[in-house]
Structure 1
């Protein structure tokens, strides 16, 4: 039976691993809407440019926007809005679920907004990229914003009953 590599290293039987250069050694470049669009196109995602010039699309039924904010448009924000809206009476329960999410996870920031007498759930991942961003970093941020937003909305589905459905803890007769 052979000894694991980590144990041999600890006991001095293997040389210490050398540090390798990171795969992403390109210099950071300014954030641009075109770079965001190139990433989305490269992944085969469908999106449009809305009237405000923002990139937007639908993932798992929910709308996401890719916003460039700040004086030099140096802040990237991936913002998602859950496809469902809920009555104001569910604010307390929904707020508890959103608070649990925000307490237990770093991304995305989740919050409620009242819109036309109903509650909407939003997810946001933002990053200040004033010094620039590499393609790999940009890809990671965009994937994080989309992936964690979709996860938040999927996590809410079993917690919040659909219109007319019985609450999850009430058995059907």
Structure 2
């Protein structure tokens, strides 16, 4: 199964034409996601557990298949690497709740590590066990990737991290 390259939306808009692919439901797999990421010109790796991951500077997005038969699920999960202090968690939760109310995906939640740092995880899922329309699958994955990128920008703006990031880049330092 392959994807028509002209059907892949760029990050600035919608596809110019509809793909001409399979007419019935397809069972997506990792090879299909790799083709899609190639066509989106995104770099990716396969981790030790066999999951596909696309790394960005501030986060990593994983494309995972879990379950079997009718219960099979495709999940796009983004791990945001920016650490937040436990004292910031209330403000962070307020921002995340606002995002989750306003958007469909990714749904974002916090994870507090043993050292007291808080990190964010975004997730979107699709049941794929009985097959899905290829157009729906492609547009969903593209939208989920775009939304993962947008969330990181949005959060930096909400928390006032843009200036911190700009100042660190100007001074050649790291942002914590």
> SS state of the match for residue 141, structure 1?
helix
Q: Which runs of 5+ in 1 are unaligned?
A: 1-21, 166-173
- Does residue 42 of structure 1 match 2:70? no
- Paired position in structure 2 for 1:145: 144
Q: 2:157: which partner in 1?
A: 158
Tell me which residue corresponds to 1:30.
Answer: 27
- Which of 75, 86, 96 aligns to 2:84? It is 86
Quickly say closer, same or farther: Cα 1:59–1:133, change in 2 above 3 A. Answer: farther
Alpha carbons of structure 1 residues 130 and 68: separation in structure 2 relative to 1, 3 Å: same
RMSD value, Cα: 2.2
Corresponding residue number in structure 2 for 1:95: 93
**1:77 aligned onto 2:64:** no
Alpha carbons of structure 1 residues 25 and 53: separation in structure 2 relative to 1, 3 Å? closer
Is the CA contact 2:58–2:82 (under 8 Å) kept in the aligned structure 1?
A: no
Contact 2:22 2:134 (C-alpha < 8 Å) held by counterparts:
no
Contact 1:125–1:144 (CA under 8 A) maintained in structure 2: no
TM-score for the superposition, normalised by structure 1: 0.75
Report the 3-state secondary structure (helix = DSSP H, G, I; strand = E; otherwise coil) of the residue aligned with 2:140: helix
Structure 2, unaligned runs of 5 or more: 1-18, 165-176
Q: Report what 1:52 is aligned to.
A: 49
For 1:66, the equivalent position in structure 2 comes to 63
TM-score for both structures, normalised by structure 2: 0.73
CA displacement, residues 140-159 of structure 1 (integer Å, 9 cap, x when unaligned): 12112111111111101022
Contact 1:60-1:150 at 8 Å conserved across structures: no
For 1:59 and 1:143, the matched residues in 2 are separated by 15
Report the alpha carbon displacement of residue 106 of structure 1 after superposing the two structures with TM.
Answer: 1.4
Q: Cα distance, 1:134 vs. partner?
A: 3.1
Deviates more, 1:143-152 or 1:88-97: 143-152
Q: Which residue in the other structure is 2:4 paired with?
A: none
Alpha-carbon separation, structure 2, partners of 1:71 and 1:149: 26
